[in-house]
Structure 1
Amino acid sequence: MLFGVVSDVAMAAAVLLTALGVLAWVTSRPHSGDMLEVSQLYVYPVKSLRGTALKTAHVGKYGMVGDRTFSLQRVHRNENKEITRYETVLAGYYLQMALFRASVEFNEEFENAPGAEVIVSWHGRGTDFDTARNVHTEDQIRFPLRPSIEGREKIDTVLHTSEAPAYDMGDEYATWFSDRLGMEIRLVYIGDGSRPVLGSFAPNSRAGLLKGRLVSRLRGLVPGLAYTPERLVFNDIAHYLVVTEESNNQVTSRLEAGYEMDVRKFRPNIVVKGASGPFVEDYWGELTFDGGIQMPLTANCYRCQSITVDYNTGKTATDDRGMVWKKLNKDRRVDKGAKYSPVFGRYGYCFGESSGKKLFLGQKAQVTYINKERTTFGMFPGQM
């Protein structure tokens, strides 16, 4: 018994020393930065499909309401036609996902959204991916944003090694997507489930211990005190992806005259303007939006080939825009945790008290933390 008490005390002491070290790291950083404005907002109801622009977005439990609660799962079978695994379909490996567009019709209802619908349209007719030539169903489908999960079969999904069960939406939707992708596909809904945030990307990790939140974070580290780990739906690494117009404009400057970089290919949730220069966001540690929304930024977003896609063909663009990944890779490999890929944008979270608040076009924000050094993908500050 005494040994257990001593162990608990030792653990608490170790946690306290860690916290003090992190506090020193936090307080040594500049605490104010650029004044910004939200210029674009995007939501992606189905993972890897093109999303839709919003004027107003509501902060939900795991990101924007309506963002990435569905995904497509490719079915893999063995020689006996038995299912061996499900693969989450990612745009970086299947560029033809750009031929699908998904939007949400909220009907002015957000948090519970009983009447909201997802609308998916396919724009692949006449392309090399037109496997639906003999299919006569309409190239648009609709389904509830929050469908009933009663009686639905569960599928075990994996995204970036983070696991979650999800609910199969049925044969009608599976057939619709399978016909247009030329492979066996199931549409799944995460429902009341979620995925764990792994590694150092969550605000409750040491990387996320920020001013004003230290005590609440310590509750998650000290034995016997409440701890609620961050969770995700089908978002990649975090609840939000933030990019700047200034960085996107700098990417445009790398392209041949007459071409522009479409910021939507970076798949942001929030686009801001007003940054003091391109790529200064590499060092941003927290944004605070008008209305009291605090958003710790905990990791860089390293980029895959999806940014090279031509929306009209579902393939790599044949003009200079198809070279954008290589152009960025020359000097934007700035994260030693992802040393073979270029960085563009920052992943972020919102705390629980922000749930239900609004993000909107024209909203003001400020950089309220600036890191001394770039964060390292998958590593804590003390390991960098």
Structure 2
Amino acid sequence: MKLASISRYPVKSTSGHEVTEAEVQPWGLAGDRRHVITDESGAVLTARQEPRLLACVPVLNSGVLDGGVLDGGVLDGGVLTLTGPHAEPLTVAPTGPRSVVHLPRTSVEVTDCGDAAAAWLSGLAGRPVRLGWLDDPARRPVDPAYGRPEDRVSLADAFPLLLTTTASLARLNDWIAGTALELGEEPRPIPMRRFRPNVVIDGVTEPFAEDEWKRLRIGEVEFRVSKGCDRCVLTTVDTTTYRKGKEPLRTLARHRRRNGKVWFGVNLIPDLIPGTYGRLAQGDPVLVL
């Protein structure tokens, strides 16, 4: 088995992009889901409510902005360039006041990224929004039912990384084709990006073998599998048209339904020596421990 692809999502619930290598930090990939969009009330706004947020493609920059260096050095993923179909690209950085945002199980303090970022994203979302940055991801614990007291996560829904496999997607798309045939519909295979994984594994011999994994090593980094990933309506949003459909939830409900939820992929927690980071690269070997 090998690591087929690595993806990072700098702003929660916007588009991600593939990278050939990435640093692994205790709370996830470096720069992954460190920014969050909030509405006028301060509540987190996601593509579940505003699918057009997926048209935003954020790319991490260094700490240099407009010829100056922020905070005397490089901000850890704090500087972004936002691109989208509605406006010219915009480079933004956290420079404003702090505010509290409410996430599943926890509330965390984030730093505002300024009026220009707010206006740019508001134009895309079609309503007033703000952009915030989590300067210290070490302040947010994972769900204690599935992790250790010291485990941390950035602004992802639940856990530091999400893993999927190409074998499982191939089986799911076979099922989707069968469902379409039964209903007289045109088969439309689901691309992996609908599931928003951080790491995709190739060479797995059995679809959904990852359901049984407890620990694995990717390259030189070891991970614990905390739990399977239950899937939400965001997977039904077409990343090209931003319209919601029935798949893959319709077919997952037929074949992968447990405890009132549907499942695809597994969540990972890095097992790192305290104070150290790891590194992943495309093509790294994968070993189930």
TM-score bracket, normalised by the shorter chain, equals: 0.7 to 0.9
User: Which residue among 121, 144, 147 is the counterpart of 1:199?
Assistant: 144
Counterpart CA distance in 1 for 2:43 and 2:88 is: 24
- Whether the 8 Å contact between 1:201 and 1:237 is mirrored in structure 2 is no
Deviations 1:30-52 (A, max 9, x none): xxxxxx20001000000000111
User: Which residue among 252, 256, 267 is the counterpart of 1:328?
Assistant: 252
Residues 14-25 of structure 1: pairs in structure 2 closer than 5 A: none
TM-score for both structures, normalised by structure 1: 0.65
Structure 1 match to 2:134: 190
- Whether the 8 Å contact between 2:92 and 2:113 is mirrored in structure 1 is no
Larger-Rg structure: 1
User: Which residue among 89, 92, 98 is the counterpart of 1:140?
Assistant: 89
Matched, 1:104 2:104: no
**SS at 2:135's partner residue?**
coil
- Whether the 8 Å contact between 2:109 and 2:134 is mirrored in structure 1 is yes
Structure 2 match to 1:74: 39
Counterpart CA distance in 2 for 1:65 and 1:265 is: 21
User: Which residue among 84, 103, 107 is the counterpart of 1:122?
Assistant: 84
TM-score for both structures, normalised by structure 2: 0.86
User: Which residue among 137, 156, 164 is the counterpart of 2:108?
Assistant: 164
- Whether the 8 Å contact between 2:219 and 2:281 is mirrored in structure 1 is no
Structure 2 match to 1:296: 224
Q: Which runs of 5+ in 1 are unaligned?
A: 1-35, 77-85, 126-137, 205-227, 369-384
Distance 1:344 1:310, change over 3 A: same
Deviations 1:59-110 (A, max 9, x none): 123111110110001113xxxxxxxxx2111223332222222222469xxx
Structure 2 match to 1:358: 279
Matched, 1:89 2:38: no
The structure richer in strand per residue is: 2
> Between the two proteins, what is the percent identity of the paired residues?
23
Counterpart CA distance in 1 for 2:241 and 2:222 is: 39
**SS at 1:50's partner residue?**
coil
User: Which residue among 126, 133, 153 is the counterpart of 2:97?
Assistant: 153
Counterpart CA distance in 1 for 2:91 and 2:171 is: 38
**SS at 1:345's partner residue?**
strand
**SS at 1:253's partner residue?**
helix
Structure 2 match to 1:269: 198
Deviations 1:90-147 (A, max 9, x none): 223332222222222469xxxx855964222223x5xxxxxxxxxxxx3322224xx4
Residues 197-346 of structure 1: pairs in structure 2 closer than 5 A: 197-202=142-147, 204=148, 229-256=150-177, 259-291=188-220, 293-317=221-245, 322-334=246-258, 336=259, 339=260, 341-346=261-266
Amino acid paired to 2:141: P
Q: Which runs of 5+ in 2 are unaligned?
A: 64-72, 178-185
Structure 2 match to 1:220: none
Distance 1:58 1:106, change over 3 A: farther
Matched, 1:349 2:231: no
Counterpart CA distance in 1 for 2:76 and 2:196 is: 26
Counterpart CA distance in 2 for 1:114 and 1:153 is: 16
Structure 2 match to 1:174: 118
Deviation at 1:259, TM superposition (A): 3.2
- Runs of 4 or more, structure 1, over 3 Å off, are 112-117, 255-259
Amino acid paired to 1:158: H
